[in-house]
Copies of this chain bind each other. A is one copy, B any other.
Amino acid sequence: MKKDEMMQFKSMVIFNDQISPGYCKIRLTAPREIVQSRPGQFVMVRVYDGIDPLLRRPFGIYDLGVFEPEYPNMPKQHYLEILYKIVGRGTGILQSLHHNDYLDILGPLGNGFTMGNEDDEKILVGGGFGLAPLYFLAKRLVSVSNVKVFIGGRKKEDILCVTEFERLGIDTYVATDDGTLGSMGLVTEVLEKYLSDGGKRRTIFACGPGPMLKSTAAIAELHGISCQVSLESNMACGVGACLGCVTKGSSHTEEKPDYRCVCKDGPVFDSRQILWG
């Protein structure tokens, strides 16, 4: 999908289920063109047809698909899935939606991940709902590349998608702060250990909380591995018009500022393009 072909569409809820305490997965109908979305791109969702909440909420694309029509002569229906954490008003309303309810969606937006060399080992690093775009990415990568995924979180409940990754035949490495799942500690420590063999050509793809991204970027730098990170920011427009979502680029100084729009220039950036605060 070319950038010029972003869409605004009405979408119907197919299902909307809790997948772990505080996390839900929602499947939404989408026009056929949605198939051109790339992993790492996101959509802006309007959860209420009114002013409360007022602004759209950004969510990464977790999965795409087609489901077979109920009656023989109906056309196939494309869908997209979002995996979301309930944090506030917008996600709270999202959670209350039922099958057959409608939503207004804008997207796909932003730049996705660059897949890179097929022969590279692909290292996915994520936490919380950061797993959402990584799962979509993994599905695309797994047929051509060797993929490993590193998942971190505070406690067991925050570790999402392990089964889904395993179903793709991908090795998962899990770490939790409290040791309730996988090894105890930070997932970046597990990553560090894994990478210590040196050797292979690798690419890292990371999405998750800021500190996790920062530390992943540092590890990548250290090992000379190319690393793409998907960032988050408060957003209003999602299309580069409001300049509300910027992050500092690597050449940023007080005198010669270098601000990049997370929505339009990102949300995926090469980790070396970012000034890590």
> Which A residues contact B (CB, under 8 angstroms)?
48, 50-52, 89
Please give me the residue from chain B that is nearest to A54 by CB atom: B52
CA distance A250 to B266 in the complex (A): 68
CA distance A51 to B48 in the complex (A): 12
The contact sample of 7 A-B pairs, CB cut-off 8 A, is A48-B50, A48-B52, A50-B52, A50-B89, A51-B51, A51-B52, A52-B52
CA distance A51 to B50 in the complex (A): 10
CA distance A89 to B50 in the complex (A): 9
Please give me the residue from chain B that is nearest to A98 by CB atom: B98
CB A203 to nearest CB in B, in angstroms, measures: 44
Q: Which residues of B contact A52 (CB under 8 A)?
A: 48, 50-52
CB A67 to nearest CB in B, in angstroms, measures: 24
CB A12 to nearest CB in B, in angstroms, measures: 15
CA distance A51 to B51 in the complex (A): 8
Q: Which residues of B contact A89 (CB under 8 A)?
A: 50
CA distance A52 to B52 in the complex (A): 6
Q: Which residues of B contact A51 (CB under 8 A)?
A: 51-52
CB A210 to nearest CB in B, in angstroms, measures: 30
Q: Which residues of B contact A48 (CB under 8 A)?
A: 50, 52
CA distance A50 to B89 in the complex (A): 9
CA distance A89 to B51 in the complex (A): 12
Q: Which residues of B contact A50 (CB under 8 A)?
A: 48, 52, 89
Please give me the residue from chain B that is nearest to A100 by CB atom: B98
Please give me the residue from chain B that is nearest to A53 by CB atom: B50
CA distance A52 to B50 in the complex (A): 7
CA distance A52 to B51 in the complex (A): 6
CA distance A51 to B93 in the complex (A): 13
CB A51 to nearest CB in B, in angstroms, measures: 5
CB A48 to nearest CB in B, in angstroms, measures: 7
CA distance A106 to B50 in the complex (A): 24
Interface centre among A50, A51, A89 (most CB of B within 10 A): A50
CA distance A178 to B163 in the complex (A): 67
CA distance A182 to B52 in the complex (A): 45
CB A218 to nearest CB in B, in angstroms, measures: 42
CA distance A259 to B50 in the complex (A): 35
CA distance A36 to B142 in the complex (A): 68
CB A94 to nearest CB in B, in angstroms, measures: 14
CB A93 to nearest CB in B, in angstroms, measures: 8
